[in-house]
Structure 1
Amino acid sequence: MKKCHIAYLACTAALIGTGLGAAPPVAAHRIHVVHPGESIQKAVDAARPGDTVLLTYGTYRESVDVSTPGLTLRGVGRGTVLEPEAGASAVGTASGTGSDAAKTGGTGKAGKTGTAGKAATSCAASGNGICVVGTKDHHVDGVTVASLTVSGFAKTGLYATQADGLTVRRVTAVKNGVWGIATEHSVHGVFRNNTARDNGDAGLFLANTVKEELGATDTEGTVVEHNRLEGNRIGVTVRRLRNLTLAGNHLTGNCAGVFVVGDENKPKAGFVTVRDNRIERNNKSCPKTARLDALQGSGIVLTGAEDSLVTHNVIKDNVGKSPLSGGIVLFKSFVGTTSERNRISDNLLRGNSPDLVNTDTGKGNTFEGNSCRTSKPAGLC
């Protein structure tokens, strides 16, 4: 019998009986193994939908563009490290949240699916680490990135746009110039068990778009859970999105833990659930930017959002002197848009300065069942 090539996950077609009624051959998914010093991009370009590109232990000095649907790009743990190639521009710093960062997160057009030789203006060539890039007409579906580290890129460690069903798990994004992990124009995402630490802006940044003024878009159930966000400007930013859940994350040592951000565009940001997170000591100090006041000591901030639920979080010892300081802060957006019909309930807050803050004049916001001691104005606890 002909031997099955080691690159194949399954050899069913070769091993199946040849008698009458045998099932027709099915194309097997392949594993493309890459070692340090070899080209990840070459393996990605050679892969077909459903294949896995497996990166062994070691350091790879390379950026990668992924546009093949169903591809899995996987390392063997934190010891699989992607860093900028020698001579790449130095790590930058973020100038703020939102449109300021758009200057640094831009991408070019993706090449044809599964093809090599992408233009020099591609996402990866622009200072990002791993890029999952579809188009407006053709989302890249079902990509998984797992079990590796992206570190030291001038812009973003892992960036995705026009992605449907992207899964990012056990990825460590460290000391990237703007965002650790970021997405735009994407739906059905799953971000689980990742670590984002010491990135210039948000550890995890999820947005409709940063390049133009548009209303919030529906993520169709994106989930962000069991991640650790530490030492960033903001742990998690949810910007101009709807229908998304943040659950079971640990956020500490950032200037601010969670931002849910909307503005004057329609539809508003909202229908975001923030639950069962542990948010403590986000007391790093970050200076004022063109779009955002100085940050320090913010646990969860909702600004310009509607119909969101903040519940069953443990929020402790977030202390600062920013207008946005406090355990849970409801704040009118910087363009004057109010937050409406948000429910803040059943959270445990201790040692924040203060625990609850509501400086928003929007209607229908409720604070109920929270265990807390201080609020602004008084009476919210």
Structure 2
Amino acid sequence: MTPRTSRRAAILLTVSTALIGLINPVSAYPKGKTIHVTEGNSIQNAIASAKGGDKIVVEKGTYHEQLTISSDGISLVGHDATIVPPDSPVTNACSGLAGDNKQAGICVAGSGILFNTTFDGEHHKVISVGDYVKDVSVEGFSVQGFTGINIAVVGAKDASIRHNTMSDGAQYGALTVGSKDSHINHNTVNAAGGPLNPFHFIGICMDDTSTVTITYNDISGYFIGLCVQTSGAIIHDNSVHDCCIGAFVDPGIDGAKLHDNVITNTPPECGFGWGIRVQGATKTSLKGNNISGIVGTPANPGVGISVADDVGDPTSTGDIASGNTAEQNTLKNNDIDIELTSTGKGNVFKNNDCTVSTPANICPNN
């Protein structure tokens, strides 16, 4: 190959690669058909018959089903459709994910998924995925009352969960785990009776292997509104209210971004409260959040933003919180607006609108 043709080949390869990056995942599938499901018929049967690029439209009604989507490029759209548990549970890839005998309402799952064997009280971790299910979207459903998770995304890539209402999922409203580039946007996640009566654990949790985007969701009535277990997670413009903990950034998580969220009102039954808790995480960016009404008791006061190390009990990891930044946040009517107890270096607080802090020199309005 001459130098000129070699250069030409290199240019063509560069252009081709750039064009591939511009392709919308949906357009990667042939124009599919639309499958309609009406009340009294099986959504799962429609999913089983669908191919990449197909849209399944589920009409108004109540459907006693557990759904599994494991084929690429499927769009599942609800038109005032409600999913509730069937009389007899269905075993699928999400069964037991959130504990023994715990089931999921909608399960988006790849194949060849290997889970860890130890259950830590939250969910089983994904060790590896054989084949990711790609480009699945779920929108427009009301999913209610599943014992484990209302909507679960496991071993998926570019999954989109949007414009759904998830109510009274006992362990999780929504969970994405072992997945890549998940998007959970514009959903309502709530629990009747609040976080403790009965116990509702986590509204939305992300435990993925690459960036996850959680935006414009309304979350209420859970013990933890947002559980952040993905490094580089992008979490913005969510409303979290009436939860014991608004957002919890787990030990060892690096570079999560929580921007422009509104977190308000700790229920009295919690007996404590955190708006955002960064525990043993690093390089977290907290910016432009509005946090108010985080209250507890004299012994356990509520804290708007808390940065702490993960130390002090037998299950602690020993991870030190370092390099975290909280800036341009507005904190009002909390017992304590900002609390820093970490021994780590580089935790920075600047240009926050707050009054009460520990130590006392963090807030400009002290």
* Bin of the TM-score, shorter chain as denominator length: 0.7 to 0.9
The answer to whether structure 1 residue 247 and structure 2 residue 248 are counterparts is: no
Residue 223 (structure 2) pairs with residue 238 (structure 1): no
Deviation string, structure 1 residues 107-130 (Cα, Å, up to 9, x no partner): 9xxxxxxxxxxxxxxxxx951100
- Please name the residue that 1:365 is paired with: 347
* 4+ residue runs over 2 A deviation: 86-89, 282-286, 321-325
Secondary structure of the equivalent of 1:44?
Answer: helix
Q: Which amino acid aligns with 1:74?
A: V
Q: What residue number does 1:377 align with? A: 359
CA deviations on 1:158-207 (whole Å, 9 max, x unpaired) are 00111110101111110011000101011111111101101711110111
> How big is each residue's C-alpha offset from its partner over 1:346-378, in whole Å with a ceiling of 9 and x where there is no partner?
101011110001111111101111010001121
Q: Is the 8 A contact 2:52 2:74 kept in 1?
A: yes
Among candidates 329, 332, 336, match of residue 306 of structure 2: 329
2:323 to 335, 341, 359: 341
Question: Residue 46 in 1 paired to residue 49 in 2?
Answer: yes
Distance change (3 Å), C-alpha of 1:172 and 1:283: same
Q: C-alpha distance in 1, partners of 2:296/2:154?
A: 35
Superimposed CA distance per residue, residues 70-124 of structure 1 (whole angstroms, 9 cap, x where no aligned partner)? 1011101xx31100012559xxxxxxxxxxxx965169xxxxxxxxxxxxxxxxx
- From 330, 353, 356, give the equivalent of 2:338: 356
Match of 1:160 in 2: 153
What does residue 29 of structure 1 align with?
A: 32
C-alpha distance in structure 1 between counterparts of 2:131 and 2:227, whole Å: 26
Q: Which has the higher helix share?
A: 2
SS of match in other structure, 1:176 = coil
Indicate conservation of the 8 Å contact 1:330/1:358, yes or no: yes
CA distance in 2 between partners of 1:314 and 1:150 (Å): 29
Query: 1:1-381 residue pairs with structure 2 within 5 A?
Result: 28-76=31-79, 79-88=80-89, 105=98, 127-135=103-111, 136-198=129-191, 200-208=200-208, 217=209, 219-220=210-211, 222-239=212-229, 241-262=230-251, 268-283=252-267, 285-286=269-270, 296-321=272-297, 325-334=302-311, 335=316, 336-381=318-363
Alignment partner of 1:45: what SS?
Answer: helix
CA distance in 1, matches of 2:301, 2:184: 27
Q: Could you state the TM-score of these two structures normalised by the residue count of structure 1?
A: 0.75
Per the alignment, in what secondary structure is the counterpart of residue 274 of structure 1? strand
Identity of aligned residues (%): 28
Contact 2:237 2:259 in 1 (8 A): yes
Match in the other structure for 1:7: none
Distance change in 2, residues 1:53/1:374 (3 Å): same
Structure 2 CA distance, aligned partners of 1:128 and 1:204? 14
Corresponding residue for residue 116 of structure 2: none
Report the Cα offset of residue 327 of structure 1.
Answer: 0.3
CA distance in 2, matches of 1:330, 1:339: 7
Larger RCO (CA under 8 A, 6+ residues apart): 1
For 2:169 and 2:47, locate their aligned partners in 1 and report how far apart those are by CA, in whole Å: 23
Counterpart contact for 2:83–2:144, Cα < 8 Å: yes
Report SS of the residue matched to 1:269: coil
RMSD: 2.1
CA–CA distance in 2 between the matches of 1:187 and 1:282?
Answer: 32
Q: Determine the C-alpha separation between the residues in 1 that align with 2:30 and 2:164.
A: 29
Find the aligned partners of 1:356 and 1:243 in 2 and give their Cα distance: 23
Where does the alignment leave 5 or more consecutive residues of structure 2 unmatched?
1-28, 112-128
How far did 1:282 drift? 2.6
Aligned equivalents of 2:301 and 2:38: distance in 1? 47
The separation in 1 between residues aligned to 2:38 and 2:184, in whole angstroms, is 26
Equivalent-residue separation in structure 2 for 1:192 and 1:61 (angstroms): 25
Distance in 2 between the 1:65 and 1:281 partners?
36
Question: Do the aligned residues in 2 keep the contact of 1:104 with 1:178 (CA within 8 Å)?
Answer: no
- Structure 1 unmatched runs, 5+: 1-25, 90-101, 108-124, 209-216, 263-267, 287-294
- Contact 2:32/2:53, CA 8 A, preserved across alignment: yes
Deviates more, 1:125-134 or 1:66-75: 125-134
Opposite residue 130 of structure 2, the aligned amino acid is D
Relative to structure 1, is the Cα distance of residues 277 and 27 closer, same or farther in structure 2, using a 3 angstrom cutoff? closer
Provide the residue aligned with 1:19 in structure 2.
none
